[in-house]
Structure 1
Amino acid sequence: MSMHAFDVDDDDDLMNEINMTPFIDVMLVLLIVFLVAVPAIHRAIAIDLPQAGGNAPAQRPAHVSVSVRADGALFWNNEPVAPDALLQRVRKTAEADPQTELHLEADRKVPYERVAEVMSTAQAGGLTRIGFVTAPKPSGAR
Protein backbone atom coordinates (compact mmCIF):
# COMPACT_ATOMS: atom_id res chain seq x y z
CA MET A 1 0.00 0.00 0.00
CA SER A 2 1.40 3.29 -0.97
CA MET A 3 1.10 6.44 0.98
CA HIS A 4 0.55 9.61 -0.91
CA ALA A 5 1.22 12.93 0.61
CA PHE A 6 -2.06 14.29 -0.71
CA ASP A 7 -4.34 11.33 -0.18
CA VAL A 8 -7.90 12.61 -0.06
CA ASP A 9 -10.94 10.43 0.32
CA ASP A 10 -13.87 11.08 -2.00
CA ASP A 11 -16.18 11.52 1.01
CA ASP A 12 -14.15 14.38 2.37
CA ASP A 13 -14.27 16.48 -0.82
CA LEU A 14 -15.64 19.96 -0.34
CA MET A 15 -18.55 20.98 -2.48
CA ASN A 16 -17.30 23.53 -4.98
CA GLU A 17 -20.68 24.37 -6.56
CA ILE A 18 -23.64 26.30 -5.21
CA ASN A 19 -26.90 24.37 -5.09
CA MET A 20 -29.16 26.40 -7.40
CA THR A 21 -32.40 24.47 -6.76
CA PRO A 22 -33.59 26.53 -3.73
CA PHE A 23 -32.73 29.76 -5.54
CA ILE A 24 -34.75 28.72 -8.61
CA ASP A 25 -37.67 27.63 -6.42
CA VAL A 26 -37.79 31.03 -4.71
CA MET A 27 -37.61 32.86 -8.04
CA LEU A 28 -40.48 30.81 -9.48
CA VAL A 29 -42.64 31.50 -6.42
CA LEU A 30 -41.94 35.24 -6.73
CA LEU A 31 -42.77 35.13 -10.43
CA ILE A 32 -46.12 33.48 -9.70
CA VAL A 33 -46.90 36.05 -7.00
CA PHE A 34 -46.21 38.91 -9.41
CA LEU A 35 -48.25 37.28 -12.18
CA VAL A 36 -51.22 37.01 -9.84
CA ALA A 37 -50.82 40.48 -8.30
CA VAL A 38 -50.41 42.56 -11.47
CA PRO A 39 -53.90 41.90 -12.92
CA ALA A 40 -55.43 42.72 -9.53
CA ILE A 41 -53.71 46.10 -9.57
CA HIS A 42 -55.19 46.96 -12.97
CA ARG A 43 -58.76 46.19 -11.82
CA ALA A 44 -58.91 49.31 -9.69
CA ILE A 45 -62.14 51.22 -9.32
CA ALA A 46 -62.39 54.12 -11.75
CA ILE A 47 -63.12 57.32 -9.89
CA ASP A 48 -63.28 60.89 -11.09
CA LEU A 49 -60.69 62.64 -8.95
CA PRO A 50 -60.92 66.38 -8.38
CA GLN A 51 -58.38 68.53 -10.19
CA ALA A 52 -55.94 70.66 -8.26
CA GLY A 53 -55.83 74.38 -8.70
CA GLY A 54 -58.50 76.83 -9.72
CA ASN A 55 -61.09 78.40 -7.51
CA ALA A 56 -63.03 76.35 -5.00
CA PRO A 57 -66.77 76.25 -5.65
CA ALA A 58 -68.57 79.02 -3.82
CA GLN A 59 -71.35 76.69 -2.72
CA ARG A 60 -72.18 73.02 -2.64
CA PRO A 61 -74.29 71.76 -5.52
CA ALA A 62 -78.01 71.97 -4.94
CA HIS A 63 -79.70 68.79 -3.83
CA VAL A 64 -83.13 67.52 -2.92
CA SER A 65 -83.92 64.65 -0.63
CA VAL A 66 -86.45 61.96 -1.51
CA SER A 67 -87.27 59.49 1.24
CA VAL A 68 -89.20 56.24 0.94
CA ARG A 69 -90.55 54.77 4.17
CA ALA A 70 -91.12 51.06 4.73
CA ASP A 71 -94.84 51.49 4.07
CA GLY A 72 -94.08 53.09 0.66
CA ALA A 73 -94.82 56.70 1.65
CA LEU A 74 -92.76 59.29 -0.26
CA PHE A 75 -91.24 62.47 1.18
CA TRP A 76 -89.73 65.38 -0.76
CA ASN A 77 -87.34 67.29 1.52
CA ASN A 78 -89.14 65.80 4.56
CA GLU A 79 -92.59 66.84 3.26
CA PRO A 80 -95.09 64.13 2.24
CA VAL A 81 -95.67 63.93 -1.50
CA ALA A 82 -98.03 61.81 -3.59
CA PRO A 83 -96.37 59.36 -6.02
CA ASP A 84 -97.96 61.07 -9.04
CA ALA A 85 -96.87 64.54 -7.81
CA LEU A 86 -93.25 63.40 -7.54
CA LEU A 87 -92.70 63.64 -11.30
CA GLN A 88 -93.90 67.27 -11.39
CA ARG A 89 -91.56 68.22 -8.56
CA VAL A 90 -88.64 66.50 -10.24
CA ARG A 91 -89.36 68.26 -13.55
CA LYS A 92 -89.67 71.65 -11.86
CA THR A 93 -86.37 71.10 -10.05
CA ALA A 94 -84.62 69.89 -13.22
CA GLU A 95 -85.82 72.93 -15.15
CA ALA A 96 -84.40 75.23 -12.50
CA ASP A 97 -81.04 73.41 -12.35
CA PRO A 98 -80.37 70.17 -14.25
CA GLN A 99 -77.26 69.50 -12.12
CA THR A 100 -79.31 69.18 -8.93
CA GLU A 101 -78.50 66.00 -7.05
CA LEU A 102 -81.26 63.71 -5.83
CA HIS A 103 -80.41 62.12 -2.48
CA LEU A 104 -82.46 58.94 -2.19
CA GLU A 105 -83.12 57.65 1.31
CA ALA A 106 -84.94 54.32 1.40
CA ASP A 107 -85.86 52.19 4.38
CA ARG A 108 -84.07 48.83 4.30
CA LYS A 109 -87.44 47.05 4.14
CA VAL A 110 -88.57 48.87 0.98
CA PRO A 111 -88.69 46.50 -2.01
CA TYR A 112 -86.10 47.21 -4.69
CA GLU A 113 -88.89 47.66 -7.22
CA ARG A 114 -90.15 50.72 -5.33
CA VAL A 115 -86.66 52.24 -5.22
CA ALA A 116 -86.27 51.55 -8.95
CA GLU A 117 -89.57 53.35 -9.62
CA VAL A 118 -88.34 56.45 -7.79
CA MET A 119 -85.06 56.34 -9.72
CA SER A 120 -86.96 55.97 -13.01
CA THR A 121 -89.20 58.90 -12.12
CA ALA A 122 -86.15 61.04 -11.35
CA GLN A 123 -84.54 60.14 -14.67
CA ALA A 124 -87.77 60.76 -16.60
CA GLY A 125 -88.05 64.16 -14.91
CA GLY A 126 -84.53 65.17 -15.94
CA LEU A 127 -82.45 64.53 -12.81
CA THR A 128 -79.61 62.13 -13.57
CA ARG A 129 -77.39 62.70 -10.54
CA ILE A 130 -78.71 60.32 -7.88
CA GLY A 131 -77.01 59.49 -4.60
CA PHE A 132 -78.01 56.83 -2.10
CA VAL A 133 -78.01 57.89 1.53
CA THR A 134 -77.06 55.22 4.04
CA ALA A 135 -76.34 55.13 7.73
CA PRO A 136 -72.86 54.06 8.85
CA LYS A 137 -72.50 50.72 10.60
CA PRO A 138 -71.87 50.81 14.32
CA SER A 139 -68.15 50.65 15.07
CA GLY A 140 -68.38 47.18 16.67
CA ALA A 141 -70.45 45.55 13.88
CA ARG A 142 -69.02 43.70 10.93
Structure 2
Amino acid sequence: MAMSAGGGGGDDTPMSDINTTPLVDVMLVLLIIFLIAVPVVIQTVDVKLPEVIHDPTTTKPENVSLTVRSGANGECEVFWNLTKVSSEELLNRAVDKLKAEIEKKGGIENFTAEDMPEAHIRGDVSTPYRCIGGTIFTMQMAGYSRVGFISQPPAGSFVQKRL
Protein backbone atom coordinates (compact mmCIF):
# COMPACT_ATOMS: atom_id res chain seq x y z
CA MET A 1 0.00 0.00 0.00
CA ALA A 2 1.39 3.31 -0.97
CA MET A 3 0.68 6.48 0.87
CA SER A 4 0.93 9.96 -0.51
CA ALA A 5 2.57 12.45 1.81
CA GLY A 6 1.60 15.55 -0.07
CA GLY A 7 -0.12 16.91 -3.09
CA GLY A 8 1.36 16.55 -6.56
CA GLY A 9 3.56 19.20 -8.07
CA GLY A 10 5.79 19.80 -5.05
CA ASP A 11 3.91 22.68 -3.44
CA ASP A 12 3.71 22.80 0.34
CA THR A 13 -0.09 22.68 0.68
CA PRO A 14 -1.41 20.20 3.21
CA MET A 15 -3.29 17.15 1.99
CA SER A 16 -7.06 17.34 2.55
CA ASP A 17 -7.89 13.67 1.79
CA ILE A 18 -8.61 11.34 4.76
CA ASN A 19 -7.12 7.86 4.67
CA THR A 20 -10.10 5.60 5.51
CA THR A 21 -8.27 2.27 5.22
CA PRO A 22 -7.43 1.99 8.97
CA LEU A 23 -11.00 2.94 9.89
CA VAL A 24 -12.42 0.24 7.61
CA ASP A 25 -9.98 -2.31 9.04
CA VAL A 26 -11.05 -1.54 12.61
CA MET A 27 -14.75 -1.72 11.68
CA LEU A 28 -14.30 -5.12 10.00
CA VAL A 29 -12.49 -6.48 13.06
CA LEU A 30 -15.28 -5.22 15.35
CA LEU A 31 -17.91 -6.74 13.07
CA ILE A 32 -16.20 -10.13 13.22
CA ILE A 33 -15.91 -9.91 17.03
CA PHE A 34 -19.61 -9.10 17.37
CA LEU A 35 -20.61 -11.89 14.99
CA ILE A 36 -18.71 -14.36 17.14
CA ALA A 37 -19.80 -12.95 20.52
CA VAL A 38 -23.57 -12.60 19.94
CA PRO A 39 -24.37 -16.35 19.72
CA VAL A 40 -22.42 -16.89 22.95
CA VAL A 41 -24.48 -14.27 24.79
CA ILE A 42 -27.86 -15.42 23.49
CA GLN A 43 -28.27 -18.90 24.93
CA THR A 44 -31.53 -20.53 25.87
CA VAL A 45 -32.51 -23.80 27.45
CA ASP A 46 -35.26 -25.66 25.63
CA VAL A 47 -38.20 -26.47 27.91
CA LYS A 48 -41.73 -27.54 27.21
CA LEU A 49 -44.13 -25.36 29.12
CA PRO A 50 -47.55 -26.65 30.18
CA GLU A 51 -50.43 -25.80 27.89
CA VAL A 52 -53.04 -25.42 30.61
CA ILE A 53 -55.03 -22.25 31.09
CA HIS A 54 -55.17 -22.91 34.83
CA ASP A 55 -55.47 -25.84 37.17
CA PRO A 56 -58.69 -26.31 39.09
CA THR A 57 -58.23 -26.09 42.83
CA THR A 58 -58.71 -29.28 44.76
CA THR A 59 -59.91 -28.24 48.17
CA LYS A 60 -59.11 -30.52 51.07
CA PRO A 61 -60.43 -29.91 54.56
CA GLU A 62 -56.91 -29.63 56.01
CA ASN A 63 -55.93 -26.80 53.64
CA VAL A 64 -55.61 -23.29 55.02
CA SER A 65 -57.52 -20.54 53.23
CA LEU A 66 -56.01 -17.07 53.63
CA THR A 67 -57.14 -13.74 52.25
CA VAL A 68 -54.71 -10.82 52.06
CA ARG A 69 -55.64 -7.23 51.33
CA SER A 70 -54.46 -3.72 52.00
CA GLY A 71 -56.26 -1.91 54.80
CA ALA A 72 -57.64 1.61 54.80
CA ASN A 73 -54.45 3.16 56.19
CA GLY A 74 -52.04 1.03 54.11
CA GLU A 75 -51.50 -1.73 56.64
CA CYS A 76 -51.70 -5.38 55.62
CA GLU A 77 -54.81 -7.32 56.59
CA VAL A 78 -54.67 -11.13 56.68
CA PHE A 79 -57.78 -13.23 57.19
CA TRP A 80 -57.73 -16.91 58.23
CA ASN A 81 -60.99 -18.04 56.62
CA LEU A 82 -63.11 -15.06 57.76
CA THR A 83 -61.21 -14.13 60.93
CA LYS A 84 -58.71 -11.26 60.82
CA VAL A 85 -55.36 -12.30 62.31
CA SER A 86 -52.10 -10.54 63.07
CA SER A 87 -48.72 -11.83 61.92
CA GLU A 88 -48.05 -13.56 65.25
CA GLU A 89 -51.54 -15.10 65.35
CA LEU A 90 -51.07 -16.34 61.79
CA LEU A 91 -47.80 -18.06 62.70
CA ASN A 92 -49.25 -19.60 65.88
CA ARG A 93 -52.42 -20.82 64.14
CA ALA A 94 -50.44 -22.29 61.25
CA VAL A 95 -48.05 -24.14 63.58
CA ASP A 96 -50.95 -25.44 65.69
CA LYS A 97 -52.85 -26.59 62.58
CA LEU A 98 -49.80 -28.41 61.23
CA LYS A 99 -49.14 -30.07 64.61
CA ALA A 100 -52.78 -31.20 64.75
CA GLU A 101 -52.55 -32.72 61.26
CA ILE A 102 -49.35 -34.57 62.19
CA GLU A 103 -50.94 -35.91 65.39
CA LYS A 104 -54.07 -36.95 63.45
CA LYS A 105 -51.88 -39.11 61.16
CA GLY A 106 -50.23 -40.79 64.15
CA GLY A 107 -46.95 -38.88 64.33
CA ILE A 108 -44.29 -37.54 62.04
CA GLU A 109 -43.20 -41.02 60.94
CA ASN A 110 -46.65 -41.64 59.37
CA PHE A 111 -46.89 -38.18 57.81
CA THR A 112 -46.17 -38.15 54.05
CA ALA A 113 -45.86 -35.38 51.47
CA GLU A 114 -49.42 -36.09 50.27
CA ASP A 115 -50.72 -35.49 53.80
CA MET A 116 -49.10 -32.06 53.96
CA PRO A 117 -51.75 -29.33 54.07
CA GLU A 118 -51.52 -26.45 51.63
CA ALA A 119 -51.90 -22.73 52.18
CA HIS A 120 -54.13 -21.08 49.59
CA ILE A 121 -53.77 -17.30 49.38
CA ARG A 122 -56.30 -14.99 47.79
CA GLY A 123 -54.69 -11.62 47.20
CA ASP A 124 -56.48 -8.45 46.23
CA VAL A 125 -55.21 -6.81 43.03
CA SER A 126 -54.31 -3.59 44.83
CA THR A 127 -52.46 -5.34 47.67
CA PRO A 128 -48.76 -4.42 47.89
CA TYR A 129 -46.30 -7.26 47.41
CA ARG A 130 -44.92 -6.85 50.92
CA CYS A 131 -48.26 -8.04 52.32
CA ILE A 132 -48.41 -11.13 50.10
CA GLY A 133 -44.69 -11.84 50.55
CA GLY A 134 -44.97 -11.51 54.32
CA THR A 135 -47.84 -13.98 54.40
CA ILE A 136 -45.91 -16.48 52.26
CA PHE A 137 -42.87 -16.09 54.50
CA THR A 138 -44.94 -16.62 57.66
CA MET A 139 -46.55 -19.77 56.28
CA GLN A 140 -43.17 -21.17 55.24
CA MET A 141 -41.78 -20.38 58.71
CA ALA A 142 -44.68 -22.38 60.16
CA GLY A 143 -43.64 -25.40 58.06
CA TYR A 144 -45.98 -25.22 55.06
CA SER A 145 -44.03 -26.14 51.96
CA ARG A 146 -46.98 -25.81 49.59
CA VAL A 147 -48.19 -22.24 49.31
CA GLY A 148 -50.36 -21.42 46.31
CA PHE A 149 -52.47 -18.61 44.96
CA ILE A 150 -56.16 -18.66 44.20
CA SER A 151 -57.11 -16.60 41.18
CA GLN A 152 -60.24 -15.93 39.24
CA PRO A 153 -60.17 -17.16 35.65
CA PRO A 154 -60.90 -14.60 32.96
CA ALA A 155 -64.49 -14.32 31.80
CA GLY A 156 -65.40 -16.73 29.03
CA SER A 157 -62.53 -19.13 29.74
CA PHE A 158 -62.98 -22.75 30.52
CA VAL A 159 -61.06 -25.16 32.68
CA GLN A 160 -58.89 -27.77 31.00
CA LYS A 161 -58.10 -30.71 33.17
CA ARG A 162 -54.68 -32.32 32.94
CA LEU A 163 -54.65 -36.04 32.54
Classify the TM-score, shorter chain: 0.5 to 0.7
SS of the residue 2:70 aligns to: coil
Runs of 4+ in 1 over 4 A off after TM superposition: none
Task: Report the Cα distance in structure 1 between the residues aligned to 2:100 and 2:154, rounded to whole angstroms.
Answer: 36
Give me the whole-angstrom Cα distance separating, in 2, the residues matched to 1:130 and 1:61. Answer: 15
Residue 133 of structure 2 aligns to a residue in which SS? helix
Measured after TM superposition, the shift of residue 74 of structure 1 is 1.0
Q: Structure 2 CA distance, aligned partners of 1:91 and 1:65?
A: 14
> Are 1:74 and 2:74 an aligned pair?
no
Which of 130, 135, 141 is the matching residue for 1:124?
141
Shift of 1:61: 6.2
**CA–CA separation in structure 2 for the residues paired with 1:60 and 1:121:** 21
Distance in 2 between the 1:136 and 1:85 partners? 31
Aligned to 1:45: 49
Query: In the alignment, which residue of structure 2 is the partner of 1:107?
Result: 124
Q: What is the RMSD of the two structures over their aligned residues, measured on CA atoms? A: 2.4
How far apart in 1 are the matches of 2:140 and 2:149?
A: 15
Sequence identity (%) = 28
Residues matched between the structures, number: 88
One-letter amino acid matched to 2:88: D
More contact order relative to length (CA 8 Å, sep ≥ 6): 2
Partner SS state of residue 66, structure 1 = strand
| Cα distance in 1 for residues equivalent to 2:93 and 2:49 | 34
Gaps of 5+ in 1: 1-39, 47-58
TM-score (norm 2): 0.48
The 1-side partners of 2:129 and 2:120 are apart by 16
Q: TM-score, normalised by structure 1?
A: 0.55
In structure 1, C-alpha distance between the alignment counterparts of 2:99 and 2:152, rounded to whole Å: 30
Unpaired runs of at least 5, structure 2: 1-43, 51-58, 103-115, 158-163
In the aligned structure 2, how far is the partner of 1:135 from the partner of 1:88? 29
Partner of 2:105: none
